[in-house]
């Protein structure tokens, strides 16, 4: 793990490079965005496997308040996902000299990926979003409230989370307290979906206790570009751990599809330039 200074905070991050690098330095990397109280270590080996399978380097970082990163400078509000996508993530990418990238987001991270792609279409090349939240669904709020209660009473869960964070209580409650704010009940990013213009893969577990296919359907119906939507049977909230092989295959095929897609787009642009001469 390494640390980097961003806007007065130290941010934990790690790079995973493909075993066979070849032209990987010429390919835009994939930035991984963790769930609400996740971190670098919480991804385990999945980013490394994606890097090897796609031939692209993977960047993983712990958001402020998570993992070994600095504490949050202030309590989160219902706008914290927007703030991360439009404020802090661009600063991180700038600091790392990363002009453009692909995104892989899980849960809260998936929402951040959607918001970043809608706000910075010139920087987000393509996104994979796993179990995204696009509105405050009632089952999501119930599930988060139950998880909050379990955290307070289940010592096993607390010990598990403490393995990943310098301040486990701070990481968990910063997330749960935000989602349980009364104003979060009307939270939504549906309006931002129309601004999505880049290729998008949406992965949703059929038995996710924290969100239904309604989110994927909204993305498909409201997005400025029709996404690829995959529902995984017998899969819950974390497809990259519960259905790792299938998820890895989906991501690999998606990234393979992007190469000829980008060549077609470049050819169309060049053709348009010639017509305009």
Tokens encoding 42:
């919480």
Cα(38)–Cα(36) distance, integer angstroms: 6
| pLDDT-derived band at 23, boundaries 50, 70, 90 | low
Taking a C-beta distance cutoff of 8 angstroms, is the pair 51, 30 a contact? Answer: yes
pLDDT over 60 (residue 271): no
Q: Pick 271 or 247 by higher pLDDT.
A: 247
Q: How confident is the model over 217-227, as a mean pLDDT?
A: 94
pLDDT over 70 (residue 117): yes
Tokens encoding 10:
């130290």
Sign of CA dihedral 188, 106, 3, 97: negative
| pLDDT-derived band at 104, boundaries 50, 70, 90 | very high
Question: Strands of 200-205's sheet, edge to edge?
Answer: 2-6, 9-16, 58-61, 30-33, 101-106, 124-130, 200-205, 228-232
Taking a C-beta distance cutoff of 8 angstroms, is the pair 143, 208 a contact? Answer: no
Q: Pick 26 or 128 by higher pLDDT.
A: 128
Q: How confident is the model over 25-33, as a mean pLDDT?
A: 88
Q: Pick 130 or 259 by higher pLDDT.
A: 130
∠ Cα 16 240 174 (to 5°): 85
Report CA-CA distances (Å) from 166 to 38, 93, 157, 179, 198: 12, 24, 16, 22, 36
Taking Cα atoms as reference points, which of 80, 191, 57 lies closest to residue 135? 191
pLDDT over 50 (residue 273): no
In the prediction, which pLDDT does 1 show?
A: 78
Taking Cα atoms as reference points, which of 14, 46, 13 lies closest to residue 128? 46
Q: List the beta bridge partners of residue 102.
A: 30
Q: How confident is the model over 81-92, as a mean pLDDT?
A: 97
Q: Pick 1 or 181 by higher pLDDT.
A: 181
In the prediction, which pLDDT does 19 show?
A: 87
Determine the topology of domain 2-276 in CATH: Rossmann fold (3.40.50)
Radius of gyration of the chain (CA): 18
In the prediction, which pLDDT does 268 show?
A: 45
Q: Cα-flanking dihedrals φ and ψ of residue 105, to 5°? A: -120, 145
In the prediction, which pLDDT does 103 show?
A: 98
Domain ranges of the chain: 2-276
Cα(62)–Cα(264) distance, integer angstroms: 35
| pLDDT-derived band at 276, boundaries 50, 70, 90 | very low
| pLDDT-derived band at 26, boundaries 50, 70, 90 | low
Q: List the beta bridge partners of residue 106.
A: 130
* Residue count of the chain: 277
User: Model-level pTM?
Assistant: 0.93
Question: Which DSSP state fits 73?
Answer: S
| pLDDT-derived band at 22, boundaries 50, 70, 90 | low
């Amino acid at each position: 793990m390494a640390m980097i200074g961003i806007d007065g905070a130290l941010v934990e991050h790690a790079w995973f490079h493909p075993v066979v690098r070849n032209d990987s330095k010429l390919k835009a990397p994939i930035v991984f965005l963790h769930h609400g109280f996740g971190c670098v270590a919480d991804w385990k080996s999945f980013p490394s496997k994606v890097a090897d399978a796609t031939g692209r380097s993977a960047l993983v970082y712990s958001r402020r308040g998570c993992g070994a990163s600095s504490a949050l400078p202030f309590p989160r509000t219902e706008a914290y996902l927007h703030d991360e996508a439009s404020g802090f993530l661009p600063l991180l990418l700038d600091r790392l000299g990363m002009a453009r990238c692909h995104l892989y987001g899980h849960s809260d991270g998936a929402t951040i990926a959607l918001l970043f792609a809608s706000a910075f279409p010139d920087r987000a090349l393509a996104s994979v979003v796993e179990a995204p939240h696009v509105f405050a669904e009632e089952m999501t709020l119930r599930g988060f409230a139950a998880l909050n209660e379990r955290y307070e009473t289940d010592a096993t869960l607390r010990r598990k989370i403490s393995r990943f964070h310098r301040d486990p209580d701070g990481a968990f409650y910063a997330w749960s307290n935000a989602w349980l704010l009364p104003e979060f009940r009307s939270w939504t990013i549906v309006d931002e979906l129309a601004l999505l213009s880049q290729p998008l893969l949406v992965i949703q577990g059929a038995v996710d206790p924290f969100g239904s296919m309604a989110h994927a359907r909204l993305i498909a119906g409201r997005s400025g570009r029709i996404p690829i939507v995959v529902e995984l049977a017998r899969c819950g909230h974390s497809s990259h751990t519960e259905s790792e092989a299938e998820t890895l295959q989906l991501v690999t095929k998606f990234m393979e599809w992007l190469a000829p897609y980008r060549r077609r787009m470049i050819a169309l642009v060049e053709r348009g330039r010639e017509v305009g001469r």
